[in-house]
Amino acid sequence: MEQNHKNVIVGQSGGPTSVINSSLMGVYKTAKDRGAHTVYGMLHGIQGLLERKVVDLSEQIPDDLALELLKRTPSAFIGSCRYRLPEVELNHPIYDQIFDYLNELEVGYFFYIGGNDSMDTIKKLYDYGQLIGSEIIFMGVPKTIDNDLAVTDHTPGYGSAAKFIGTMTKEVICDALVYDMPIVTIIEIMGRNAGWLTAAAKLAQGEDCNGPDLIYLPEVEFDYEAFEQNVKSLMEKKKAIVIAVSEGIRIKDGRYVCELASSGPEFVDSFGHRSLTGTARFLADQLAMNLCCKTRAIEFSTLQRCASHMVSRVDITEAFQVGGAAVKAAFEGASGQMVILKRVSDQPYICITDTYDVHEIANVEKKVPRHWINDEGNDVEEALINYIKPLIQAELTPTMVDGLPRHLSRTKSLPNQGQKVAANL
Amino acid sequence: MEQNHKNVIVGQSGGPTSVINSSLMGVYKTAKDRGAHTVYGMLHGIQGLLERKVVDLSEQIPDDLALELLKRTPSAFIGSCRYRLPEVELNHPIYDQIFDYLNELEVGYFFYIGGNDSMDTIKKLYDYGQLIGSEIIFMGVPKTIDNDLAVTDHTPGYGSAAKFIGTMTKEVICDALVYDMPIVTIIEIMGRNAGWLTAAAKLAQGEDCNGPDLIYLPEVEFDYEAFEQNVKSLMEKKKAIVIAVSEGIRIKDGRYVCELASSGPEFVDSFGHRSLTGTARFLADQLAMNLCCKTRAIEFSTLQRCASHMVSRVDITEAFQVGGAAVKAAFEGASGQMVILKRVSDQPYICITDTYDVHEIANVEKKVPRHWINDEGNDVEEALINYIKPLIQAELTPTMVDGLPRHLSRTKSLPNQGQKVAANL
C-alpha cells in the first residue's frame, strides 16, 4: 500500500480562532488532492478520539459551497478540547487506546491544529509512537490568536484577531470623543502572558485616529502608582483618554491585577489556566475613586477570537497554507514537527512555510521582546507595529444571508454516525 | 430674504450610533441642495452652542470623498452632549443666550438629531420660540440604537445595532459550542428600559444556528429562581447554553439585577441615568456558585453603538432620509415636529417618512409590547423578529485602508476656527 493511501485524521485543539477552520480545510483539501482515502475529523480533539468520536470530513464538507462557508465560519468546526495527555511511558493504557484506535481506522497521518499546549499532544504522541515503533506520522499545525508560539514568525489566527482589535479600538476611540467631558475608557484585551494582542490596539493610530493613549502589556510589571500618574498628566491635556490593557498584567508580587478585585468563583482548566477577567473594570473603578472622573471598562472578550465577519485575508490564506504544508511534509515523511511561518521580507510582505521539531515548540511561550515596548512600559514601539501590519491586510467578505453572515454548521446526526463509521471498521 | 436663504444649524445629541453621521449628511446635503447659505454644526450639541462652539460644515466636509467616509464613521462627528435645558419660562437667561446667538448666526432652521431626551430640547426650544415670537424653525431628527422613540415605527441606528448584535451572537454561539463540556454563556446587551436591542440576539436563530436558549428583556420582571430553574432544565438536555440578557432587567422590588452585585463608584448623567453594567457577570457568578458549572459573561458594551464596520444599508439609508425629510419639512414651514418613519409593508419592506408633534415624543419611552415576548418571559415571539428583520438588510462595505476601516476625523483646528467664524458675524 502506498503511504498516501493510508487514512488521515485531523483535530482542532485549544481556544478557537476566526481562521482555524481554514487550516482544517488546508489539511482536508491537500490530503484529498494528494490521494488520501478517508480524512477523519476528531470531534473535540484528542478527547473525542479517546471516546471514539470521529467523523468522515467528506460527509461534513460535501461541496465547494460548504468549503466557502467553512472558511467564513468561526470557532473550531469539529470542536476543540483542552485535554492534556499524561507523561509518556511504555504500555500506558491511554496511549495504547489511542494507537489501537488509530490503527483500527488505518490512519497513517495525524494532524493537530493548535497552540503550544496542543503541540504538547503532538510531541507526546510522536514520542510514544517512537517508543512502540509505530509508523504513524504526527504533525502540528500552528494556531492561536495569542501569537505566542515559539520559532514561527507568527501564528495563524493572530492577524484576524489583531485586525478586529485594531478596528474596534478605532471605533471605540471615535465613541470616546463624543462628549465634551473628561472620561477614561479602559479596553481589556486577551493575552495571559504575552502582549501581542494588546499591542494590536496601537494599529488604530493613523491619519484619522490618535490611537490609544496608553498601552500595558503583561511583559512589563504593572505599577499602579505610575499608571495613575500617567492618567493624571494626560487629563491635564485632554478630555477623552483611551487605554488598552492586557487581561494578564501583573503587579510586582506576581499577582494578576484582576485578582486584586473581589471576584466570583474561579474556573481552572486542565492546563492550570485560570480565566482572567475584570482587569479593566478594576482599574476603571480605582481611577474613578481616586481621580473622581467618569470611567468605563470595555472587554473585547471572546469576540476577539470569533469575529469571523472581520478577518484578515492574509491570515486566512496563511491558515490554509500551514494546513496544506503539514500534509505535504507528512506525506514526504516528516514527523514530530510543526509547520512554521518564516518571514522573508516586510515590503513586499513575503512569508514561506517550513517545519520545525515540535519538541522545541510545545509548552514554550513567545513573549513580546522588551525592546518592542517603550522604556516606560506604557506604549509599544513602531517596530512592533511594522511587524503586525502585514498580517492584517485585506479582507474576506462574509457570505451574507438575510442580513447576517452565514456559517457552516455540522450535520447534526454526525456524532453518532461518526461512532457508527468507527464501529464498522 | 427668502426663507431658505437663512442659515441652518444642526446638532447631534445623546448616545452615538453607527449611522448618526448619515443623518447629519442628510441634513447638510439637503439643506445645501435647497439653497441654504451656511450650514453650521454645533460642537457637542446644545452644550457647545451655549459655549459658542460652532463650525461651518462645508469646511469639515469638503468633498464627496469626505461624505463617503463620513457615512462610514461611527459616533457623532461633531460631538454630542447629554444636556437638559431648564423648564421654559420667559426671560430665562439660558434661552435668551441661545436665541440671541442663533439670531446672530442668522439661523432660520435648527435641527437636532437625537433620542427622546434630545427631543426634549427641541420641544423646549420650540415652546420658548413661540413664547417670544421667534421665527426660527425647530425640527427633530430621530436617532437611537435603543429604538425606544414613540410614534415612529423604528429609529435610525437601531437596525445597525441589531445587525451587529445578531452577528456577534451567532459568532459567540459558534464559540460556545467548541468544547464538549457544560458551559453557560451570558451575553449582556444594552437597553435600560426597553428590550429592543436584546431581542435582536434572536436574529441569530436560523438554519445554521439555534440562536440563544433564553432571552430576558427589561419589560418583564426578572425572577432569579425561575431563571436558574430554566438553566438547570436546559443543562439536562445540552452542554453549551447561551443566554441573552438586557443590562436593564430588574427584580420584583424594582432594583436592577446589576445593583445586586457589589459595585464600584457610580456615575449618573444629567438625565439621571446611571450606567448599568455587570448584569451578565452577576448572573454568571450566581449560576457558577449554585449549579457548579463553568460560566462566562460577555458584554457587547459600547461596541453595539459604534461598530460602523457592520452597518445595515437599510438603516444608513433611512438615517440619511430622516435628515433630508426634516429639512424639506422645515423649509416648507413645519416646526416643533420630529420626523417619523411609517412602515407601509413588510414584504416588500416599504417605509416612508412623515412628521409628528415633538411634544408627543419627547421623554416618552416605547417598550417592546408584552405580546411580542413569550408567556414565560424568557424568549421573544416571531412577530418581533419579523419586525426587526427588514431593518438589518444589506451592508455598506467599510473603506479599508492598510487593513483597517478609514474614518473621517474633524479638522483639528476647527473648534477655534468655529469660534472665529462666529465672532466675525
Q: Which residue of B has its CA nearest to A176?
A: B75
Q: What's B419's DSSP letter?
A: H
Report the pLDDT averaged over residues B365-379: 98
Rounded-to-integer distance, Cα A221 and Cα A370, Å: 12
Single pTM value for the model:
0.94
Query: Is 90 exceeded by the pLDDT of residue B327?
Result: yes
Contacting residues of B for A298, CB less than 8 Å apart: 299, 301-303
**Which residues does chain B have within 8 Å of residue A72's beta carbon, measured at their own beta carbons?**
none
For residue B302, list chain A residues with Cβ-Cβ distance below 8 A.
Answer: 172, 175, 185, 296, 298
Q: Which of B19, B174, B397 to mutate to probe the A interface, most A CBs <10 Å?
A: B174
When the pLDDT of each residue in chain A is averaged and rounded to a whole number, the result is 92
- Closest partner CB to A302 (pick from B73, B298, B402): B298
Question: Cα separation of B257 and B192, whole Å?
Answer: 11
For an interface test with B, which of A167, A178, A308 has the most B Cβ atoms less than 10 Å from its Cβ?
A: A178
Minimal C-alpha gap between B266 and chain A (Å)? 9
Of B167, B285, B308, the CB nearest to A404: B167
Does residue B269 carry a catalytic annotation? no
Distance between CA atoms of residues B58 and A320, nearest Å = 48
Phi and psi at residue B90, to the nearest 5°? -55, 145
Residues of chain A with pLDDT under 50: 1-3, 264-265, 413-425
Residue A265 has, within 13 A of its CA and on its CB side, a CA count of: 15
pLDDT at residue B4 greater than cutoff 70:
no
**Smallest Cα distance from A129 to chain B, Å:** 27
Q: Which residues on B lie below 8 Å from A313 (Cβ)?
A: none
- Is B81 in contact with A179 (Cβ distance < 8 A)? yes
pLDDT at B291: 94
- State the nearest Cα–Cα gap between B332 and chain A, in angstroms: 32
Query: What is the per-residue pLDDT across B229-276, written as a single tens digit (0 to 9) for each?
Result: 999 999 999 999 999 999 999 999 999 998 887 554 455 555 555 566
Pairing mode, strands A183-189 and A214-216: unpaired
Instruction: Tell me the C-alpha distance between B218 and B367, whole Å.
Output: 9
Contact A338, A355 (CB under 8 A): yes
Quick one: pLDDT at residue B424? 29
More confidently predicted of B260 and B386? B386
Minimal CA separation from A308 to chain B, in Å: 7
As annotated, the active-site residues of A are: 146
CB-closest option in B265, B285, B409 to A264: B285
Residues of B in contact with A289 (CB under 8 A): 264-265
| Residue A261, pLDDT score | 75
Catalytic-role residue among B117, B146, B148, B213: B146
- Which of B43, B203, B288 lies closest to A404 in CB terms? B203
ipTM here: 0.94
Q: Which residues contact A72 (CB under 8 A, 6 or more apart)?
A: A308, A311, A396, A398, A399, A405, A406, A407, A408
Closest Cα in chain B, distance from residue A72 (Å): 10
The answer, yes or no, to whether residue B406 has pLDDT greater than 70, is yes
Mutation site, B21, B73, B172, B179, interface A, largest A CB count within 10 A:
B179
| C-alpha dist (Å) from residue B164 to A72, A157, B157, B200, B246 | 16, 21, 11, 9, 15
Chain B CB contacts of A276 under 8 Å are: none
Query: Can you give the pLDDT at residue A103?
Result: 98
Please say whether the beta carbons of B235 and B194 come within 8 A: no
The pLDDT of residue B296 is above 90: yes
Residues of A in contact with B170 (CB under 8 A): 404-405, 407
In angstroms, the separation between the Cα of residue B396 and the nearest Cα of chain A is 11
- Most B-contacting residue of A46, A179, A189, A209 (CB-CB within 10 A), to test interface: A179
* C-alpha span between B242 and B244 (Å, rounded): 7
Burial zone of A75 (CB within 10 Å; 0-12 exposed, 13-18 middle, 19+ buried): buried
- The per-residue pLDDT for B414 is 43
Element (H, E) at A27: helix A20-33
Nearest CB partner across the interface for A288, out of B204, B264, B296: B264
Closest chain A residue to B286, measured at CA = A264
> What nine digits make up the cell of A393?
491586510
The pairing of strands A214-216 and B294-299 is unpaired
Which uninterrupted H or E stretch holds B386? helix B382-388
Closest chain A residue by Cα to residue B297: A301
Region of poorest pLDDT, from A383-392, A404-413, B44-53, B199-208: A404-413
- pLDDT, one tens digit per residue, over B71-108 is 999 999 999 999 999 999 999 999 999 999 999 999 99
Closest approach of B217 to chain A, Cα-based (Å): 22
B403 → closest Cβ in A44, A389, A402? A389
Residue of A nearest to B263 (CA): A285
Tell me if B392 and A404 make a contact (CB, 8 A cut-off): yes
For residue A405, list chain B residues with Cβ-Cβ distance below 8 A.
167, 170-171
Judged by CB atoms closer than 8 Å, whether chains meet at B171 and A209 is answered as: no
Mean pLDDT of B198-223: 98
**Closest Cβ opposite residue A389 in set B204, B206, B402:** B402
pLDDT of res. B411: 78
A interface test, pick of B160, B317, B404 with most A CB neighbours within 10 Å: B404
Secondary structure of A309-375 in the HEC alphabet?
Answer: HHCEHHHHHHHHHHHHHHHHHHHCCCCCEEEEEEEEECCCCEEEEEEEEHHHCCCCCCCCCHHHECC
Does B297 have pLDDT greater than 50?
yes
Q: Which SS3 state, helix, strand or coil, does residue B336 take?
A: coil
- How far is B304 from A395, CA to CA, in rounded Å? 22
- Determine the pLDDT at residue B260: 86
Averaged confidence pLDDT in chain B: 92
